Structure 1
Amino acid sequence: MSDYDFDAVVVGAGAVGLACGYALSRRGFTVAVLERDLAIGQGVSSRNSEVIHGGLYYPTGSLKARLCVTGRRALYAFCDAHHVHYYRCGKLVVATDAVELERLEGILAQARTNDVEGMARLTRAEALALEPELACVGALISPESGVFESHAYMLALQGEIEAAGGAVVLATPFEGATPREGGGFEVRAGGADPTTFACRWLVTAPGLSAQAVAATIEGFPAAQIPKGHFGKGVYFRLAGKAPFARLIYPPPIPGALGTHYRRDLGGQGVFGPDLAFVDAPDYSVDPARAGEFYRYVRKFWPGLPDGALAPDYAGVRPKLHGPGQPQPDFRLDGADIHGLPGLVALFGVESPGLTSSLAIGEEVAARLGV
């Protein structure tokens, strides 16, 4: 009989943590997912665009390139099987001047290298035939991009973990872990009823607190904990009829995909996020940011009426780069990096982490050797 309370403990019940728990549960292992909040998906996973990304931009050979495409395909199938609402609306990457038009060529080449299905160039006339209110000189179309109900997705993951005999334990912060002789970890959990329990494998996927969590694991070398940065993005909601059926994206900006448009599943238009680096998570939305949004959005939608944008919400992304630095890949660090067998520590899982989540779970299971 095993002396482990659980085969695996996952820290963080956002989309990625739940997907890791799901991947291990599917293999017949008992899993406990620890979440410090009172509900699942209250961090990064609740404050994003709910976009299913095609996988266009990410560098050849990167985890983002591979896991986004694989994860997107798996995500649509999972949503079908679990009756999670989504809309495969497609996406236009638009150029509003000659410089951006040249950039589309590189994006198209990278998307094809990444095996993104259905990518094509559109002339201005072809783009306007699809979206008549658009202003552009050319565009790319990504028909596999979409939007979905991310919280319903996370509830379905939770249900699968629990149906397999696992547990998603809320209001239970992870407070640290100690490697055990002979393998595995002794995990300390807080909350109203603090406890300790033993597990064979430990996966940390706590989003914004990834660095702080790693620092509480005995033997985790401080030099292998990457510096984290908080990338804040705000959203504005459109009053009135949504102008476009498809996602509308300008070419990416340094460090992010840029302020884009989506029509949410309720039929309303939403713009965002922008990017500002902050010292600590901050979810306020300054109404004065609207001025920059009007200027930016009118480049591709000159018909945006005055007074039509209202502050909506803000998200904070767990970045591994600061202002002016190149955007790195996901970090899914195993024993080859930190020297602790049975531990995979995730860092910097921002966009396209939600789209990639099922594939990230599979990758984590593979790195645990199961």
Structure 2
Amino acid sequence: METIDCAIIGAGVVGLACARALAAAGREVVVIEREATFGTGVSSRNSEVIHAGLYYAPGSLKARLCVEGREMLYAFCHERAIPYARCGKLVVAARAEQAAALRQIRRRAEANGVGDLRELDRAAVAAFEPALDVHAALLSPSTGIVDSHALMFALLGDAERDGAMFAFGSPVLDGYSDSIGMVLQVGGERESDLRARWVINASGLDAVALGHRLSGPTAEDLPRAWFARGVYFALSGKAPFSRLIYPIPEPGGLGVHLTLDLGGQAKFGPDVEWIDTPAYDVDPARAQRFYAAIRRWWPALEDGRLVPGYAGVRPKIAGPGMPDADFRIDGPSRHGVRGLIHLFGIESPGLTAAMAIGRHVAREITGR
């Protein structure tokens, strides 16, 4: 049986960032991906937002890796000419009674090292975005957008340049630990076994299920997987906004917000719908909820302008009514399995944090 140094399961943006970091550190890397190409799961169905780090509990992995990853991501995009824009966003309080929530967001952001927020009153908001009708807002200049596919392509290219190999169309069926590391049973056109001294479970929506197959007796320490579908509706015609617009966060997500792509096309979403298994259908009837939510801060939105877009599913490890969970990067010191690192609950801000997550994993493996 062949033995390699590092096997990464999953070729989404986080798996690719791990591959890049480990290959750059001189490690032998094979990325094993079930689908025929990279970035077809969670990474292909998000808002493509570079988050500043406003919302996450101070000291959490989400807070630290988001802020670190944001700066790494901007620098990488600039260096490689990956399309991006530091467009900024407004977090809006539609009513006066929401102003306290804005102040709480600012305090949390400052505790996370985000010191560039500006408080705007109604008049100042109107000067920035005349179409908005809100009581107040926070301006986050460090928020941006990125071409996520171009980003992933660049991460893959760096990893391959430094020797990483990719096995597409290769689902991991099972695995167990031995005296050297982990043995993976890999499917595809021809099933085979592969031993790796280190295995990184970066399989997104499948991470918890795969964790049960890999962890053996320690599986009782694994989190439960929860799935929250969020749908997006595109705006027909030109949007009257030049920045991203976010409401006060809601349970399970950041509320129905407006994001822009690099061509200026606006979309709204995602909402939150708890589901038992991942599914990506978009019910056009959900548009009525979107109209109601959006008109709290953009009352001039006309009927008929929302067009069904797409859906994404968040790989959550906390369910309805539970406090938001932090990222979990579970190595041997937590679960006791030699050579195994699980990445659980890598939802938003996973895209922003991806390069910092990759560096974190590489340091765990290399000790540097």
TM-score normalised according to structure 2 size:
0.97
Pairing 1:197-276 to 2, within 5 Å after superposition: 197-217=194-214, 219-276=216-273
Match of residue 30 from structure 1: 28
TM-fit CA distance, 1:117: 3.8
Give the aligned partner of residue 130 of structure 1: 128
* 1:4 shift after superposition: 6.2
Structure 1 residues 246-281: Cα deviation after superposition (integer angstroms, max 9, x where no partner): 010001101211110012112111000000100111
Deviations 1:59-95 (A, max 9, x none): 1110000000000000011111222100110010000
Residue type of the alignment partner of 1:350 = E
Kept in 2: contact 1:318–1:350 (CA 8 A):
yes
The aligned counterpart of 1:346 is 343
More divergent stretch after superposition (48-57 vs 158-167): 158-167
Tell me, which stretches of 5 or more residues in structure 1 are unaligned? none
Q: Does 1:359 align with 2:342?
A: no
Give distance in 1, aligned partners of 2:252 and 2:202: 21
Alignment equivalent of 1:184, drawn from 172, 181, 184? 181
Between the aligned partners of 2:190 and 2:95, the Cα distance in structure 1 is 59
2:87 to 78, 86, 89: 89
Q: Deviations over 1:192-246 (max 9, x none)?
A: 1222222211100101101111122153512111101000000000001112110
Tell me whether 1:172 sits opposite 2:170 in the alignment.
Answer: yes
Amino acid of the structure 2 residue aligned with 1:175: L
Moved over 2 A (4+): 3-6, 366-370
Quick check: 1:302 aligned with 2:302?
no
* Structure 1 residue 30: Cα displacement: 1.3
Distance in 2 between residues matched to 1:195 and 1:161, nearest whole Å:
24
Asked if 1:113 is matched to 2:111, the reply is: yes
Measured in 2, the distance between the counterparts of 1:99 and 1:356 equals 32
Equivalent AA in structure 2 for residue 138 of structure 1:
A
- Between the aligned partners of 2:74 and 2:112, the Cα distance in structure 1 is 18
Identity of aligned residues (%): 50
Measured on the aligned residues, the alpha-carbon RMSD in Å equals 1.2
- CA positional deviation for 1:21: 1.0
Residue in 1 aligned with 2:141?
Answer: 143
- Partners of 1:219 and 1:39 lie apart in 2 by 29
Q: What CA distance in whole angstroms lies between the structure 2 residues aligned with 1:118 and 1:325?
A: 31
Q: TM-score, normalised by structure 1?
A: 0.97
Q: Deviations over 1:102-143 (max 9, x none)?
A: 100010011111111411111111111010101111100110
Query: For the residues of structure 1 that align with 2:338 and 2:138, how far apart are their CA atoms?
Result: 44
Shift of 1:6: 2.4
Q: In structure 2, what residue type is equivalent to 1:109?
A: R
- Per-residue CA deviation, residues 135-172 of structure 1 (Å, 9 max, x unaligned), is 11110011010111001111111111111111121101
User: Do the aligned residues in 1 keep the contact of 2:200 with 2:341 (CA within 8 Å)?
Assistant: yes
Task: Find the aligned partners of 1:218 and 1:47 in 2 and give their Cα distance.
Answer: 29
Match in the other structure for 1:324: 321
